Amino acid sequence: MFKGSNVALITPFKDNKLDKDAYVKLIHFHLENGTHGLVPAGTTGESPTLNHEEHEQVIELCIKESNGKIPVIAGTGSNSTEEAISLTKHAEKVGANAALIVTPYYNKPTQEGLYQHYKAINDNTSLPIIIYNIPSRCVIDMSVDTMARLFELKNIAGVKDATGDPSRIEATLKKLGPDFIQLTGEDGFALEFNRRGGVGIISVTANIAPKLCSDFQKYSKSKTDNEIKEAERIDQILQPIHKSLFIESNPAPVKYAAKLLGLCGDEIRLPLVKIKKETEDQVKNALSSAKLLS
């Protein structure tokens, strides 16, 4: 169920409030363009600056509008175990298909602390749990051994790997086997990740290029030479977009790209700010090179 192109949904704002109309429009944009799964209220959705009511509303709206057509993996992580449990329980109650739970940031738990954090969430839900391992933002790195311990629990299903370490894929596959879902969180690394045993991505770029991203994922896992070549061709088209969307802190560049495409405004919450003029130019050029802008 959890494979292919899963979009890390941006959260549109208008006058510092959730822009519901734009958000619903975005969800249907993905349903119409082949996206394989929706991931609301993650970091790209500015979860750190959503209040609890907004966080829950973003997840509920996503589930309601997608109406079971594709899976919804709700972002419910926190550096507070109790808060993560509460958010996960809510996501389960309103019909999410899985929970994406980031490793606790700032607290710097040990590997045993990581295990106990996820175990506590596991014990309070029946949702499949995707571990989000992103050392660059959270400072800590969950080891393969800790993931193996967690995989023995009933609800731990896989990982969104944003370590940027190619060797991690094979090590995880060797230790946990093919049933443990491996999704990358690095758009630019998606082709190599799938070649090494990954099954998909939770993508920022998919916000503004859903058809290209879903086609790429489909072809990258093909066994035919022609389709693999097509995946490589699409990857070359996407690479300039991937790079442009991370010149400044995500999701400011992708929100600007979404504005250019008429999907939503580029309003973003402090402490993040709108991108600089030179970054705007690079985002425009990347979209134009991929023929997404006329």
Instruction: Express each pLDDT in 50-75 by its tens digit.
Output: 999 999 999 999 999 999 999 999 99
Residue 76 covered by a domain: yes
Range of the domain at 173: 4-224
Q: Which residues contact 178 (CB under 8 A, 6 or more apart)?
A: 197
Task: Let me know: does 183 contact 160? Beta carbons within 8 Å.
Answer: yes
> Tell me, what CATH number does 69's domain have?
3.20.20.70
Catalytic residue among 23, 115, 160, 218: 160
Catalytic, 256? Answer no
| Residue 233 belongs to a domain | no
Residue pLDDT, tens place only, 128-163:
999 999 999 999 999 999 999 999 999 999 999 999
CA–CA gap between residue 239 and residue 48 (Å, rounded) = 28
Is residue 117 in some structural domain?
yes
- Candidate list 132, 218, 255, 256, residue with the active-site label: 132
69 belongs to a structural domain: yes
- Please count the structural domains in the chain: 1
* H or E stretch at 65: helix 52-66
Residue that is written with structure tokens 């899963």 in the block:
6
Please check whether residue 263 lies inside any domain of the structure.
Answer: no
Q: Do the domain assignments include residue 255?
A: no
Q: Quickly state the pLDDT bin for 1 (edges 50, 70, 90).
A: confident
- Which residues are CB-contacts of 168 (< 8 A; sequence separation ≥ 6)? 144, 161
Token pair 């014990």 is found at: 123
Residue 231 lies in a domain: no
Total Cβ atoms within 10 A of residue 170: 11
* In-domain check, residue 264: no
Amino acid sitting at position 112 = E
